[in-house]
Amino acid sequence: MPDIVLTECLDTTVSKRWVRVALDLPLAELYDYWSGVPVEIGDRVIVLFGRRKMIGLVVGLPDTPDFDPAKVKEVQVVLKDIKHLTTSWLRFASFAAEYYQRPLGEVIMPALPMPLRSVSSYQGKRSGAGPVARLASRRTAAQQAVSASAIPALNPAQEQAVAAIVATQAFKTFLLYGVTGSGKTEVYLHAAAQTLARGQRVLMLVPEINLTPQFEQSLRARLEPVAGVNGVAVMHSALSDGERLRAWLRVQSGEARIVLGTRLAIFAPLDDVGLIVVDEEHDPSYKQQDGLRYSARDLAVWRAHDLGIPVVLGSATPSLESWANAEKATYQRLDLPARARDVTLPSVRLVDTRRLQMEHGLSPHLLEAMRIRLANKEQVLIFLNRRGYAPALHCRSCGWVSQCSRCTTFTVLHRAQASRAQLHCHHCGLVQSVPKGCPDCGDQDLQPMGRGTQRIEEHLAELFPQARIVRIDADSTRKKGSAQALFASVHAGEVDILVGTQMVAKGHDFANLGLVGVLNADAMLFSQDFRAPERLFAQLMQVAGRAGRHTGHGEVIVQTGYPEQAVYQALLKHDYAGFARHSILERQAAALPPFSYQALLSAEAQDLNVALDFLQAARESANELSAHYQTQEVLTLYDPVPLRIVRVDNMCRAQLLLESTNRPALQSLLRHWLKLLPEQLDARRVRWQLEVDPLEI
């Protein structure tokens, strides 16, 4: 741990040095101060902004300040308790800020652990020394060494993939396209081991916090001999401030040789990386949905480019963007065409629910298949991407349906164990008690409408009284560590039936799971979003891929009312390539991404018309700019439209889509446009934000 030196800048007689600082403020500017003590680019400083004390990051040491030198304030404290951030890291953050059109300070500061960017952690007697020193003085339990695990011999396809990756010591993007269970993880581990052996570090991204324990275990078991007992650092948003700080410092100091994390780990402070891995690269979780709306996958490719190193994007169902890049040979494809263990892919069956007598939403085919698997002591996974007991409560006599008072959505019936049923709004978080009778007609007989995971769990308990059932969804895993414990019980064979949402669909290598049942996948079929079929297909392939991973003879039963849809037909044949070919042609015909680039301006206001008027004015100014820069031919401005769920938390939402076949033209238009937008603000009655490369439209 570096020694702590808090250099107080009290002596005003020393020569002034101008210091340009990025602060976490929604303003695009950088702020100039002066310092009488040595400061480096990448240092953190405490400064006064107005009357507020803030921590900022030094991003420049200009010869002259940007405004009247006489008014430039002095830096209060130069924080030297950590090594300064490197210029390479700052270059990366600057790119992200520029590309996603956000102020630099709003990118840089949130990327640091909270204690390093909040003034309060440096104030007061006890905290005067700062969070780094406090952490160093606290004893921590030494990491337990993980016992080394056997290394399977790679099959020829895996070997080729590893060889191609490690032979590359310059920038190159690999698309590791391997069916579920094809041993992509093994490829990452081998490539990582060789990168470490060369003295370089490895950055590995996974889409879900839940997947980190499994990966951490394999990384430590396999790579600790090369990386050391503290060689693996884990970064994700569920860590406490202290844990996050500790991991971050281990990365920055170089102690951690491997960084494993979710999307935010792309901002980890390290430069001597020799390999970046993005597992399940198609996964929407790589997209941050508020603040800086970045794609960690896209940033990973930029960072690899900047550092001159290979990046591996792995998936059984690559995003169409990545697939198209591989077709153009911008990315190099590496194929793992078969499962690594000597097992086949699961067989897929579509059960047409239109003509069937269902039992609590479960078809006779699925129930029969479950009986067989359970009798055979195999595990069953029931996948339903809808948490809660029922999507709504309704009145049979008058048709009343439970609705949120703050949003234009239904409220979801939840029946937590031991506690009474409640109505939850999944959009604004409002929780209401269930009315005694119908608010409209007074009828006492209110009924749940449809089924969520809780209700399916309840039915399954009645139908299979002997079975040990576990439900894994956002509700059953609120407590820290509970998801990990539930997954561990599944892996330990203490569970017969697993009911879950998308949380259970990804990544897990279940050894004894024979059957996957998919309920209500149709909900996603008719979404307006042009990416919905791609997402549905990826999700179905992922969840189907959980079946028969070790024992073979896996089976997937999809209940649907639309078995003839292309998505399901492709799933039957495990035909990602065919599905991708078909979808890419469609996208090309419609000039949609990856054949164009998009940006989305969203606005919300109490009154929908205010939001729409703002967007209309914004559209006109974009139009003028486009005329001025003569980009009309490559730029499409759509009409402002209300969102499907128009009101959330009493704010009405609308959006304006911009599309261009020319990315630099779009980028430069956005830059000019953003400067004009505040003038369109209707007396602050509108909240707006701009998203580059939006994933949901």
Binding residues (CB under 5 A) for Zn ion: these are 395, 398, 400, 404, 406-407, 425, 427-428, 430, 438, 440-441, 443
Q: How far is the CB of 181 from ligand ADP (least distance, A)?
A: 4
Q: Of the candidates 204, 260, 201, 271, which has an alpha carbon nearest to the alpha carbon of residue 236? A: 260
- DSSP one-letter string for 571-609: HHTT-HHHHHHHHHHHHHHHT-TTSSEEEEEEEEESSHH
* H or E segment to which residue 453 belongs: helix 453-463
Q: CB under 5 to 8 A by kind: which of ligand ADP, Zn ion, none does 84 bind?
A: none
Phi and psi torsions of 133, nearest 5° = -65, -40
Q: Of the candidates 694, 403, 408, which has an alpha carbon nearest to the alpha carbon of residue 530? A: 694
CB atoms within 10 A of CB 494: 11
CB atoms within 10 A of CB 554: 28
Residue type, position 219, single letter: L
Q: How far is the CB of 549 from ligand ADP (least distance, A)?
A: 6
Q: Compare residues 469 and 505 and give the one whose CB is closer to ligand ADP.
A: 505
CB atoms within 10 A of CB 110: 14
Query: Sheet of 232-235: strands edge to edge?
Result: 232-235, 258-261, 201-205, 273-279, 310-315, 172-178, 332-336
Q: Compare residues 103 and 178 and give the one whose CB is closer to ligand ADP.
A: 178
- Quick check: bond before 664 cis, omega within 30? no
Q: How far is the CB of 508 from ligand ADP (least distance, A)?
A: 9
Q: Compare residues 44 and 647 and give the one whose CB is closer to Zn ion.
A: 647
Q: How far is the CB of 341 from ligand ADP (least distance, A)?
A: 5
Question: Six-digit token pair at 271?
Answer: 């430069």
Q: CB under 5 to 8 A by kind: which of Zn ion, ligand ADP, none does 105 bind?
A: none
Q: CB under 5 to 8 A by kind: which of Zn ion, ligand ADP, none does 278 bind?
A: none
Q: How far is the CB of 641 from Zn ion (least distance, A)?
A: 21
Residue type, position 634, single letter: V
DSSP category for residue 280: T
Q: Compare residues 244 and 414 and give the one whose CB is closer to Zn ion.
A: 414
Query: b or e along 659-686 (b: 16 or more beta carbons within 10 Å of the residue's beta carbon)?
Result: bbeeeebbbebbeebeeebeebeeeeeb
Q: CB under 5 to 8 A by kind: which of ligand ADP, Zn ion, none does 404 bind?
A: Zn ion
Task: Give the Cα separation of 257 and 260 in Å (integer).
Answer: 10
Q: How far is the CB of 179 from ligand ADP (least distance, A)?
A: 7
Q: How far is the CB of 217 from ligand ADP (least distance, A)?
A: 12
Q: How far is the CB of 412 from Zn ion (least distance, A)?
A: 10
Q: CB under 5 to 8 A by kind: which of ligand ADP, Zn ion, none does 441 bind?
A: Zn ion
Q: Compare residues 275 and 404 and give the one whose CB is closer to Zn ion.
A: 404
Q: Compare residues 243 and 649 and give the one whose CB is closer to Zn ion.
A: 649
Q: Are 271 and 89 in contact (CB under 8 A)?
A: yes
Q: Which residue has the tokens 């000039």?
A: 591
Question: Six-digit token pair at 517?
Answer: 């049942």
Q: Compare residues 152 and 291 and give the one whose CB is closer to ligand ADP.
A: 152
Q: How far is the CB of 616 from ligand ADP (least distance, A)?
A: 48
Q: Compare residues 376 and 405 and give the one whose CB is closer to Zn ion.
A: 405
Q: CB under 5 to 8 A by kind: which of ligand ADP, Zn ion, none does 443 bind?
A: Zn ion
Q: How far is the CB of 438 from Zn ion (least distance, A)?
A: 3
CB atoms within 10 A of CB 185: 21
Phi and psi torsions of 105, nearest 5° = -65, -30
Q: How far is the CB of 505 from ligand ADP (least distance, A)?
A: 12
Q: CB under 5 to 8 A by kind: which of Zn ion, ligand ADP, none does 155 bind?
A: ligand ADP
CA-only gyration radius of the chain, Å: 27
Q: Compare residues 315 and 520 and give the one whose CB is closer to ligand ADP.
A: 315
Q: Compare residues 68 and 342 and give the one whose CB is closer to ligand ADP.
A: 342
Q: Compare residues 440 and 620 and give the one whose CB is closer to Zn ion.
A: 440
Q: Which residue has the tokens 């952490």?
A: 135
Q: Compare residues 185 and 596 and give the one whose CB is closer to ligand ADP.
A: 185
Question: Six-digit token pair at 144?
Answer: 């337990």
Q: CB under 5 to 8 A by kind: which of ligand ADP, Zn ion, none does 181 bind?
A: ligand ADP
Q: How far is the CB of 396 from ligand ADP (least distance, A)?
A: 46
Q: How far is the CB of 649 from Zn ion (least distance, A)?
A: 6
Beta bridge partners of 310: 172
Q: CB under 5 to 8 A by kind: which of ligand ADP, Zn ion, none does 183 bind?
A: ligand ADP
Task: Give the Cα separation of 411 and 432 in Å (integer).
Answer: 9
Phi and psi torsions of 178, nearest 5° = -135, 135
Q: Which spans in 3-146 are helix H?
A: 87-99, 104-108, 114-117, 131-137
Q: Compare residues 408 and 551 and give the one whose CB is closer to ligand ADP.
A: 551
Q: CB under 5 to 8 A by kind: which of ligand ADP, Zn ion, none does 640 bind?
A: none
Chain residues binding ligand ADP by CB under 6 A are 152-155, 158, 178, 180-186, 340-341, 509, 549
Alpha carbon separation from 690 to 594, 667, 679 (Å, rounded): 19, 12, 15
Q: What angle do CA 541, 546, 550 make, to 5 degrees?
A: 130
Q: Compare residues 182 and 502 and give the one whose CB is closer to ligand ADP.
A: 182
Q: Which residue has the tokens 């281990």?
A: 250
Q: How far is the CB of 545 from ligand ADP (least distance, A)?
A: 6
Q: Are 305 and 146 in contact (CB under 8 A)?
A: no
Task: Give the Cα separation of 585 and 215 in Å (integer).
Answer: 36
In sign, the C-alpha dihedral spanning 515, 542, 285, 649 is: negative
